[in-house]
């Protein structure tokens, strides 16, 4: 987990409760050996869901993102999901949907970037009373570059996560931005009863395909209601990938 930013164990679990017990032990161990843990509160569950709900309309893919989003440096307390666990239900799984994983340091090392403080300032300027985080990786890159090819924030009817109309469109955007996905993206297909664990400060992830109703159990472990100073610790960690 501390190395590549994700773990896909070669075993299965009978149910989500058993999988979560194992995942939380891994998250705790990873947190203890990471210097980032100093000065931050203890890890806690900040969310748990079973998706997609029956009848939900699904796009054929999900854009690359950081769960719960990257804090923009406002004074507003925010919940941060440091780790994510995904568990394929033993009875409802089997859709063959692919989880796409992109290690941030490997992706961003493909080109040069503005200084970290400059990127932080550009992110902060996009904050608003109803916007204290940004989770879509493509949007973070656009803000860092001060680009203008994505749908502008605040456009009437625009929904976060719909920046790209297709998977090919997302790949094309990253190609144009100088950080092609093809060389660094990893793909994991969860079989029934399998578990995938992600470090949201080291990786972004998305989906290719549509899931069965109530197929995927999600567990988010991190820090609730972080102060501005604590948010800055996490922001610095992610922005370090731009300068590694």
Give the pLDDT score at 73. 80
- The closest of 181, 70, 53 to 132, measured between CA atoms, is 70
Give the pLDDT score at 244. 65
pLDDT 10s digits, 49-93:
999 999 999 999 999 999 999 999 877 899 999 999 999 999 999
Rounded to whole angstroms, the Cα distance separating 45 from 83 reads 10
Contact 198, 83 (CB under 8 A): yes
Kindly indicate the confidence band of residue 174, based on its pLDDT and cuts at 50, 70 and 90: very high
Rounded to whole angstroms, the Cα distance separating 89 from 101 reads 20
- In 3-state terms, what secondary structure has residue 181? coil
**How is residue 241 annotated by DSSP?**
G
What is the arithmetic mean of pLDDT over 172-179?
A: 98
Percent of the chain with pLDDT over 90: 88
pLDDT 10s digits, 145-164:
999 999 998 899 888 999 99
For the beta carbon of residue 67, count every other beta carbon within 10 angstroms.
Answer: 19
Indicate the burial class of 73 (C-beta count within 10 angstroms; 0-12, 13-18, 19 or more).
middle
What is the arithmetic mean of pLDDT over 35-61?
A: 92
Do you find a cis peptide bond into 52, omega within 30 degrees of 0?
A: yes
Indicate the burial class of 209 (C-beta count within 10 angstroms; 0-12, 13-18, 19 or more).
middle
């Amino acid at each position: 987990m501390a190395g590549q930013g994700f773990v896909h164990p070669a075993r299965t679990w009978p149910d989500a409760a058993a999988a979560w017990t194992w995942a939380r032990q891994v998250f705790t161990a990873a947190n203890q050996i990471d210097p980032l843990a100093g000065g931050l509160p203890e890890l806690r569950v900040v969310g748990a869901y079973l998706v997609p709900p029956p009848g939900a309309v699904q796009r054929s893919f999900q854009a690359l993102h950081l769960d719960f989003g990257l804090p923009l440096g406002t004074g507003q307390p925010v919940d941060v999901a440091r780790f994510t666990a995904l568990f394929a239900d033993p009875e409802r799984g089997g859709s063959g949907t692919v989880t796409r994983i992109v290690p941030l340091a490997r992706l961003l090392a493909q080109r040069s970037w503005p200084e970290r403080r400059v990127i932080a300032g550009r992110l902060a300027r996009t904050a608003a009373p109803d916007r204290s985080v940004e989770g879509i990786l493509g949007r973070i890159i656009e803000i860092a570059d001060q680009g203008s090819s994505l749908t502008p924030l605040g456009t009437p009817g625009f929904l976060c996560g719909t920046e790209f109309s297709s998977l090919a469109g997302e790949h094309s955007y990253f190609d144009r931005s100088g950080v092609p996905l093809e060389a660094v993206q990893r793909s994991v297909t969860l079989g029934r009863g399998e578990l995938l664990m992600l470090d949201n400060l080291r990786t972004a992830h998305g989906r290719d395909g549509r899931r069965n109703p109530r197929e995927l159990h999600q567990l988010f472990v991190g820090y609730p209601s972080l102060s501005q100073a604590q948010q800055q610790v996490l922001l610095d960690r992610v922005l370090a990938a731009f300068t590694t």
